[in-house]
Amino acid sequence: MRRAVNVGDMQELARRRVPRVVYDYIEGAADDETTARANSAAFDRWVLIPRVLVDVSIRNLEVELFGQRLGLPLLLAPTGMAGFASPAGEVAAARAAERFGIRLVVSTASAYSLEEVAAATSQPHWFQLYPWGDRGLMTELVGRADAAGFGVLCVTVDVPVTGNRERDRRNGFTVRPRLSLRDAADVVRHPGWWAAYMRNRRFQMRNLVTPETAGSLATIERFARLLNPQVAWEDIEWLRSLWRGPLLIKGINHPEDAARAVSAGADGVIVSNHGGRQLDGSAATLDQLPHVIERVAGSVPVLVDGGIRRGTHIVKALSLGAKACLIGRPYLYGLAAGGEQGVAAVLECYRSELDRALALAGCPAVSDLNDSYVRRASSVR
């Protein structure tokens, strides 16, 4: 694999190595994709204010989070069907995460089951669940996650229906895929990806497999039917009663929703707009982060995802009060480009950039970051 010196390099490698339909699935967002772009652009509205003549000969990148000591203030976000990017899927991502002392949040829609990920790894990773209308299924999944040793439950609340992902629609990559001749020809032009697919066929949502839904399409169709536009805070309170460990609510943008999440028993919130894949035109997550931080007033940790492509982005988010960040598309770039080694290469980019940024900002530890290290770009003096 050609050396990638930043996430952008890995993105370009991924674009070349997988068929367009797969790359568009990874990269695409809703409608005009304005929110996806806004997530990244928001980091340019904040500038770093470094301190000097500080002893930064030793830097500490570790963070304590829900009883786990993480090597970086970073997690791999839940992404459905990582097997599209690479047949190694979530297992490769989780193993790469463990090399850096961090965790993967395994999606309900993962290409490897909870049990398969747990058997292939040595650390307590996290599990992401949708609050569906089928409480029997949710009870089953929560019990399986607990039995498999998953440490934290993340409940994603911003998908009452799926967003309008036009790249996928143009490619015929919907609940019932209908690829055009052009798309089929493009798949053939990527023989490495095609051969890996034929050997492994990791195109199922393995957590949703039943005797009646053994095929790839059947699990995708089942997932679509399970989405619950009636989901309410009572469902969160019910899930809280089921799960003994830390529970986070993912998909929070409004400060009042953050407060309500805490009232419902959440141990933390994740400021997220699903990477711009749901409601286009919604606010960038970094812009909403300070408002959520202010509203919860230190009662629970606040995490954030969306547009985080550099170590300096992590510094800015933590300076604004986030406890840790999550990345989704970047680790999928790594998977697509080079499997487990590709994910590890992406994480090394973040680690080295974060370490260097701390030194240059005059801050010896991520735990020391605060709002004195950042200013709105328009307010710099």
Catalytic residue numbers read 274
Bridge partners of 375, per DSSP, are 47
Distance CA 373, CA 167 (A): 39
Distance CA 251, CA 160 (A): 11
The burial class, CB within 10 Å (0-12 / 13-18 / 19+), for 238 is: middle
Q: Which long-range contacts (CB under 8 A, 24 or more apart) does 36-41 make?
A: 36/275, 36/276, 36/277, 36/307, 37/276, 38/276, 38/283, 38/284, 38/307, 39/273, 39/275, 39/276, 39/284, 39/285, 39/286, 39/306, 39/307, 40/307, 40/309, 41/284, 41/307
List the one residue out of 175, 162, 179 whose CA is nearest residue 20.
179
Q: What backbone phi and psi angles, to 5 degrees, belong to 156?
A: -90, 120
Place of tokens 């669940």: 129
Residues 357 and 50: beta-carbon distance below 8 Å? no
Q: What backbone phi and psi angles, to 5 degrees, belong to 69?
A: -95, 115
